[in-house]
Structure 1
Amino acid sequence: MTRTRTVPHLATPFMECPHGFFGRRGGTSRGVYDSLNCGPGSADIPARIAENRRIAANCLSGGRDTPLLSLYQVHGDRAVTVQKDWAGDRPQADGMVTDRPGLILGILTADCAPVLLHDPAAGVIGAAHAGWKGALTGILEATADAMMSLGATRENIRAAIGPAISQTSYEVGRDMHAAVLKCDSQAADHFADGRDEDHFQFDLEGYAARRLKAAGVTRIWCAGIDTYQNGDYFSYRRCTHRGETDYGRQVSAIMIAP
C-alpha cells in the first residue's frame, strides 16, 4: 500500500461515496502548471502529470494505488461504461459510468463544469465533463442514461456540480448565445446582459443543474466556486487573459469503495 498524501479537495456528504473535486494545490508541477496538474493533454512534463494523478488517486482511495481513469474529452455527448482499467488510448467521450468497485472515474476541467453522480441504492457512479457544448447536446442526460443501464434510477441519482467558471466571469459572444438558444430556447434564463452590447454572461453551473433536473435528476449539489476568480483552481480563461501559452487541468474524481 502506498503512503497516502492528503491534498486539498472539496467533498460533500451528500454523495455517500469516496469523491473529490481537486484544485491545483498539492502536486509536483511547476510554472503555469503549479502544481496538481492532472491533464495529459497539457504540455507539462509527463512524469509530473503521472505523479500528480497518483497523488489524487491515492488521496481518494486511501493509498491503495487504485487506477485513475480519464477520457479524451471532446465536448460531446457520448458516455461510456467502464468495466476495467484501459491499457490503451483513452476513449473519446465526455461521460463515464461504472458499477465496479475499485475504479476511479476522473474528469479534467479548467473552467468547464465537472459533474459527479452516484446512485447509492444501485451502487452505480458516473462522471461528466460539461462545457456549454456538451451540456447543450446532452452529455448529462447521456451519463444518467448510461447509469440507468447499470441499474440506477433517476430519482435515486445524486449529482454534485463542482467548481466551474461563474456567470460573472463567463462572458460570451452573440454567436454562442444564438447557437445555444437555437437548440434550447429555455436556456434564455441562463444569460444575462454583458458589459458590451454584443456580449452576454452565461450561467454554466445553473444551466447544467437545469438540464439535470429536466432529465429527472433532482437531487443536486452545487459547489458555487468560480474557477476564474479563485486562484486555487486552474482556469483556461484566466490563463488566456494573462497571455500564458498553456494551462493545467484539475481532476474531479469518484469511486465505489472496494
Structure 2
Amino acid sequence: MADAGEVVRAANIAVPHGFLDAAQSDARQLSLAIGEAEPVFVEQVHSATAICVDRPFKDAARPQVDAMATATPGLALAVVTADCAPVLLADSQAGVIGAAHAGWRGAQGGVIADVVERMEELGAARANIAAAIGPTIAKASYEVGADMRAAFDPQDFDLFEATGPDKWHFDLEAYVVRQLAAAGIESVCPLGLDTYADKPRFHSYRRATHLGEPTTGRQISLIALPG
C-alpha cells in the first residue's frame, strides 16, 4: 500500500472534515481530519435510513443505518466505503452536520433525502447546506447488468452508457449529485476520485473481487463539529 497522502477536503465545507485514503487509518491522520472530535460509527447495511445522534455508540450497539446527522459539538460523523459514495454535509451557520454512505441502493431508496431531513430537524436550512462526495467508483470502472438498469426510472437512464449486450457503465457519483439537487442542496462538490482505478491509493470492493484479493479494506470519511 502506498504511503498516506494529504487528507482530502472539499472547499465548500467550512467545518473540520476529511476523506481519508487506504493508508490513513492511524490516529494522526484522523486527528488531521477532525481535530479533537470523537468519531461516531454505525453499522452500514446499504439502507436508506438516517438518524440523529448525540453520542458515540459501542461496537455491539451500533444501529443499522447508513446516514447520521448531529448538532452536538465534539462529535465527528464517520462513514466507511470501498466503492460506494461517502457524502459529507454541513450547515455551518446552524452548526449541523451530516454524513451518508450512499451505494446505488441507498441513494435510490432515499438516504440523501433522509439525512437532509434529519439535519433540518436539528435546525439546518437546506439553502445553507453544503455537500461533498468523496472517493467512489467512477462511471468508467462501474460495469453493471441490464437488471440493475431496469431498477431505475427512465429519467435516470442517461447515467448509463451501453458497453455491450446487456452491459452498461453507471455513473454513481452523478446519481448522488442528482439526489442532492433533488433534496434542495445547491452547493455540491464531487471530488471525482475513482476508487477502482487508483489501486495504490484506495480500497475497492469490486476491484478486490475481480482480482481475487481480500475485500475487507475500507476508507474512512469524517465530518466534525468542534467542541
Normalising by structure 1, we get a TM-score of 0.82
Query: Displacement of 1:58 after TM fit?
Result: 2.1
CA deviation string 1:92-151 (max 9, x = no partner): 000000001111100100000000000011110000000000000000000000000001
Superposed displacement of residue 68, structure 1: 1.4
Please tell me the residue identity of whatever aligns with 1:91: P
Secondary structure (helix, strand or coil) at the match of 2:106 reads: helix
Deviations 1:137-174 (A, max 9, x none): 00000000000000111111101011100000000001
Structure number with greater CO (CA < 8 Å, separation at least 6) is 2
Unaligned runs of 5+ in 2: none
The alignment status of 1:70 with 2:41, answered yes or no, reads: yes
Q: Counterpart of 1:18? A: 16
2:149 aligns to what? 177
Residues 184-234 of structure 1 show CA distances to partners (whole Å, capped at 9, x for unaligned) of 33211111112x211100000000000110111111001001110112010
Q: Which runs of 5+ in 1 are unaligned?
A: 1-5, 27-35, 37-51
Q: Secondary structure at the match of 1:111?
A: coil
Contact map agreement 1:162 1:223 (CA 8 A) in 2: yes
5 Å-filtered alignment, 1:1-258, equals 8-26=6-24, 36=25, 52=26, 54-62=27-35, 64=36, 66-87=37-58, 88-180=60-152, 184-194=153-163, 196-231=164-199, 232-258=201-227
Runs of 4+ in structure 1 off by over 4 angstroms are none
Preserved contact between residue 144 and residue 169 of structure 2 (Cα < 8 Å): yes
- Give 1:60 shift: 2.4
User: Structure 1 residue 7: deviation in Å?
Assistant: 5.9
Structure 2 counterpart of 1:20, one-letter code: G
Residue 101 of structure 2 aligns to a residue in which SS?
Answer: strand
Amino acid at match of 1:207: Y
Between the aligned partners of 1:7 and 1:111, the Cα distance in structure 2 is: 19
Give the structure 2 partner of residue 47 of structure 1.
Answer: none
In 1, the alpha carbon distance for the partners of 2:18 and 2:71 equals: 18
- In structure 1, distance between residues paired with 2:215 and 2:11: 34
| C-alpha distance in 1 between matches for 2:9 and 2:66 | 21
Query: Quick one: distance in 2 between partners of 1:24 and 1:79?
Result: 25
- Alpha-carbon shift at residue 59 of structure 1 (Å): 2.4
Shift of 1:79: 0.2
SS in 1 for 2:220: strand
Report the residue type matching 1:192 in the other structure. Answer: E
Q: Which amino acid aligns with 1:222?
A: P
Aligned pairs, number: 222
Tell me if structure 1 keeps the 8 A contact 2:80–2:221.
yes
Give the Cα–Cα distance (whole angstroms) in 2 for the partners of residues 55 and 97 of structure 1. 25
Partner Cα distance (1:13, 1:170) in 2: 27
Say if 2:71 and 2:97, in contact at 8 Å, map to a contact too: yes
- SS of aligned partner of 1:241: helix
